[in-house]
Structure 1
């Protein structure tokens, strides 16, 4: 009378153990390698012709005003700029997409301030308003109050915002983000061919970026 329940329990335990084993094997062989690969990707040379980035010897940081880590890294990125070899450049671009959803919501602010020539001087204020004060600068009413508080003429801002230069810059930001499949910030594009996400602390990560730039190869983890 105990044979059937015992057989059922044994079979159930076997299924559980087998499922756990299969899950572990799958996780080890597939999930873990994918996670590791995401920290550094390589664009094949034959595909570089399609890149919206045209200049070599350049490190591009793709960031967002809504990214806490981007704000924290500003001093480190400034340090990276000072470490660049002669002829190399560091460019900072805001992530963007057609819907301007998520972290891309603030791309119009970046593009407009850039066209106005005042983006760098107001970047820390934009970070602070969005991240620390929870102020949605993608909202027109909140934005207008922020412009006034930071001494930015609203009429000039609106004129620049509606300009062809801003539209072209937003399209460019979208093309860079889309081509390199940037879905996390900050991300770094090195020499048009490497996409690196921070996988170690600064200043070690600066050395990683410089190795990709100068030697075309990553450092050991």
Structure 2
């Protein structure tokens, strides 16, 4: 996990000794100090907080992509590129994400951006490298540039910063379920598909808790 004031962190992986039959508070997840409303009423919500420059985010992203592709219609999954104050190294990546998001194609190119940054070492925070890469992806470069350099993107980065602060995100990758529960690979000690299983169990847990108690039989 990448912590707020660090660019690198030794990540300790802890072998799991038992399957997650039931998620455990304090071990698999924690409760958000101040619960937040979901974006779409009537739907379960999962928010992924990440950074394109985070190798741990990159490692779990294929599992997240596979999981997201199979989500039922009553689950709203959204991504938020983390933006911490004083972290100029994040701003270029956040700006790229905000632009793709405004174009409605951030989900389509999520893995491609990660691959470019983490695998191929392309410096997408530099316009001289970014625009040729955008063109190679088949994205309308003129449209991309107009949004990338526009006021709306500056405002969008501000919103990313606000969300990072509102949810008190101090490390990535981090997942928030229904505005209540926070989990991460760092908490569960695994950088694999286990994280999506924990998320599913938190959704089920919250759904079960929302159901009215059954009336006792007379």
Which TM-score band applies after superposition, normalised by the shorter structure? Answer: 0.5 to 0.7
Q: Does 1:204 align with 2:194?
A: yes
Structure 1 unaligned spans of 5+: 1-35
- Spell out, residue by residue over 1:81-103, the C-alpha distance to the aligned partner (whole angstroms, 9 max, x if none): 35645512211221123445344
RMSD: 2.9
For 2:162, the equivalent position in structure 1 comes to 175
Cα offset, 1:187, TM superposition: 0.6
Structure 2 unaligned spans of 5+: 1-24, 208-218
For 1:31, the equivalent position in structure 2 comes to none
Contact conserved, 1:58 with 1:89, CA < 8 A, in 2?
yes
For 2:153, the equivalent position in structure 1 comes to 166
Structure whose CA Rg is larger: 1
- Spell out, residue by residue over 1:102-137, the C-alpha distance to the aligned partner (whole angstroms, 9 max, x if none): 445401001101112222333233212211222221
Contact conserved, 1:107 with 1:170, CA < 8 A, in 2?
yes
Greater RCO, CA 8 A, separation 6+:
2
Q: Distance in 1 between matches of 2:147 and 2:37?
A: 23
- Alignment size in residue pairs: 178
Q: State the TM-score, normalized to the length of structure 2.
A: 0.68
SS in structure 1 opposite 2:206? coil
Higher relative helix content: 1
1:1-221 matches, cutoff 5 A: 40-44=29-33, 47-48=34-35, 51=36, 54-55=39-40, 57-81=44-68, 84=71, 86-198=73-185, 199-201=188-190, 202-216=192-206
Q: State the TM-score, normalized to the length of structure 1.
A: 0.67
Q: Distance in 1 between matches of 2:202 and 2:46?
A: 9
